[in-house]
Amino acid sequence: MPLRPPNPYDELAQLAGPEPPYDEPDEPPLIPSIPADPIAAPSAGPSAGPGDNRPSVPPGHRRAGRRGSRRGSTKRRARRRTRQRWTPSPLRLLRRVVKLLLFVTAGAALLFLADRCAAMYAEKKAQQQLQHTLRLTAEPQVDIKGFPFLTQVAAKRLDRVDVTVPHVAADRVTLARVRASARDIRLTGSLPTAIRGAVIGDLSGEVLLAFADMDRELGASQVRFRDLGGDSIGALGRLNVAGQELVVRAQAHLRRDGGHAITTEIDGMSLDLPHVATYRPGGQGPDDRRSLVLHREAAERIAKDAARVKALFSVPAIVERLGVPEEAVEAALGSEERLREVAGTPRFLDGLTRLNLVDVLVDHPWLLEKLGIDPGLLTALTRLQPPELADRFSFSFRMPPEAERLRLRALSVGADGIRAELSATGLAVGK
């Protein structure tokens, strides 16, 4: 049987001395005795005497209290390190908030730019389509309201779209501006590129016929239009007749024609020979007769000229219309002083300014030269017919056939021109 090699620990045990005997301590009493004088009782400590009944602590024994205290401090240090690791400083927290805000702002800005670019593209395409459909000379302006635009397109329903069309030709005149606001617009077709058209739920707007455009387009007689209040406008211009420049005045009353057109009715026309007389061509009514009456200053000049007064008194029809008695006429023809008295009365001047010279002067054309009026002018004036004069002032406009579903509503006249309200419901645009 082989020998086992020697164990070095056995050799060390033989070299060490014998262990001191260990005496088992006596069992402590269940109820310790209380000393008579607690203050004088010896304190427990390592130098307790032989009578101490407390069990002795073996050498090298570590007390549980100190070990527990050391373990507790270690845990507290670990928790403190964890708290410091996960609790950022205020400056670090501020940097994180700033970075988050910058990220959110940049993302919102990109989304906003993408939405606006899509809206601008749609507005441009709509402008081109309107210009082609309505055959406009100028490109209209389309403004799509509401944000965001892309969500409206995805739902195939736009909240509001404003359209402004400048310079729309309408018969003899040009509409300065047509402005419309469309609401509740439903797109037809499939997204994103196959949208065929739209159905407008409600449309309202206005048409402006500017006086400046009317002055330019109806300016063959140098006419200027202005507001007279209500549905009436006034026209003031110049017209050359028989070498004389006359001032032309007229009134135009606006009328709607079937909800698609506006026409005018001309009345109150007059042609003034400055500082001499006013000619009115008359009209269709029985009371609208032609007339030629002298201005006040022309009547005063005639009253101061004895030769002209005698020429008037030599025509019985004029004397009768002036209401001068025959005795006064005979006395005036026989005496210069009496002639000045009769001609200088306010009654005579008022009679001259109310005297219609048309019928009288047709039979006595020589009297025109006496009164300082060119006979050729009266002849040319009597040849002017009311329809011909009215055509110089009349105008009308009709909505183009492409916009026949639009209706013209109330009319009004302002300082800048004529306005008419537009309206439509369920208007289909496109295919």
The pLDDT of residue 357 is: 81
Residue the block writes with tokens 């009436």: 232
The pLDDT of residue 46 is: 46
Amino acid 309 reads V
Residue 56 is given by DSSP the state P
Residue the block writes with tokens 């063959």: 220
Amino acid 157 reads R
The pLDDT of residue 407 is: 84
On the question of pLDDT at 180 being above 70, the answer is yes
Crossing angle of the two packed helices 296-304 and 306-313, in degrees rounded to 10: 100
> Mean of the per-residue pLDDT values for the chain?
76
pLDDT band at 72 (very low <50, low <70, confident <90, very high): low
More confident of the two residues 215 and 116: 116
pLDDT digits (tens, 9 = 90+) for 367-419: 877 777 777 887 888 787 777 777 777 777 777 776 777 888 888 888 888 88
The pLDDT of residue 40 is: 44
The pLDDT of residue 79 is: 65
CA distance 236 to 252: 11
On the question of pLDDT at 123 being above 80, the answer is yes
Nearest to 221 by CA among 241, 191, 203, 202: 241
The pLDDT of residue 118 is: 83
pLDDT band at 32 (very low <50, low <70, confident <90, very high): low
Nearest to 402 by CA among 368, 369, 430, 361: 430
pTM (two decimals) = 0.59
Contacts of 365 (CB under 8 A, 6+ apart): 375, 378
More confident of the two residues 110 and 5: 110
The DSSP result for 3-48, as a single string, is: PPPPPHHHHHHHHSPPPPP-PPPPPPPSSPPPPS-TTTSPPPSTT-
Q: What is the mean pLDDT of residues 307-326?
A: 86
Q: What is the mean pLDDT of residues 23-31?
A: 51
Amino acid 180 reads A
pLDDT band at 194 (very low <50, low <70, confident <90, very high): low
pLDDT digits (tens, 9 = 90+) for 416-427: 888 888 888 887
* Backbone angles phi and psi of 273, in degrees to 5: -90, 105
The pLDDT of residue 33 is: 52
Q: What is the mean pLDDT of residues 124-139?
A: 80
On the question of pLDDT at 296 being above 60, the answer is yes
The DSSP result for 359-381, as a single string, is: HHHHH-THHHHHHT--HHHHHHH
More confident of the two residues 329 and 13: 329
* Backbone angles phi and psi of 206, in degrees to 5: -150, 155
Q: How many CB atoms lie within 10 A of CB 179?
A: 16
More confident of the two residues 55 and 87: 87
The pLDDT of residue 1 is: 47
pLDDT band at 85 (very low <50, low <70, confident <90, very high): low
> What is the C-alpha radius of gyration for the chain, rounded to an integer number of angstroms?
58
Q: Which residues pair with 280 in a beta bridge?
A: 291
On the question of pLDDT at 106 being above 80, the answer is yes
pLDDT digits (tens, 9 = 90+) for 215-268: 776 665 477 888 888 888 888 888 888 888 888 888 888 888 877 788 888 888
Task: Kindly state the percentage of the chain with pLDDT values over 70.
Answer: 73
On the question of pLDDT at 101 being above 80, the answer is yes
Nearest to 247 by CA among 263, 228, 265, 234: 234
CA distances from 266 to 9, 144, 239, 300, 391 (A): 142, 42, 17, 33, 9
On the question of pLDDT at 164 being above 80, the answer is yes
CA distance 383 to 362: 13
Q: Are 138 and 166 in contact (CB under 8 A)?
A: yes
CA distance 164 to 34: 111
Query: Checking phi first, is residue 138 left (phi over 0); if not, alpha (psi -120 to 50) or beta?
Result: beta
Task: Kindly state the percentage of the chain with pLDDT values over 90.
Answer: 0
The pLDDT of residue 43 is: 44
Nearest to 237 by CA among 285, 259, 270: 270
CA distance 279 to 6: 159
The pLDDT of residue 395 is: 75
pLDDT digits (tens, 9 = 90+) for 320-353: 888 888 888 888 888 888 888 888 888 888 888 8
Using CA atoms of 335, 338, 343, 344 in order, give the dihedral in degrees to the nearest 10: 140
Q: Which residues pair with 261 in a beta bridge?
A: 257, 398
Q: Which structure tokens are listed for 325?
A: 């008695």
On the question of pLDDT at 162 being above 60, the answer is yes
Q: What is the mean pLDDT of residues 270-275?
A: 88
CA distance 360 to 318: 7
Q: Are 281 and 290 in contact (CB under 8 A)?
A: yes
The pLDDT of residue 39 is: 45
Length of the chain measured in residues = 431
The pLDDT of residue 241 is: 83
The pLDDT of residue 381 is: 82
Q: Which structure tokens are listed for 98?
A: 């700033």
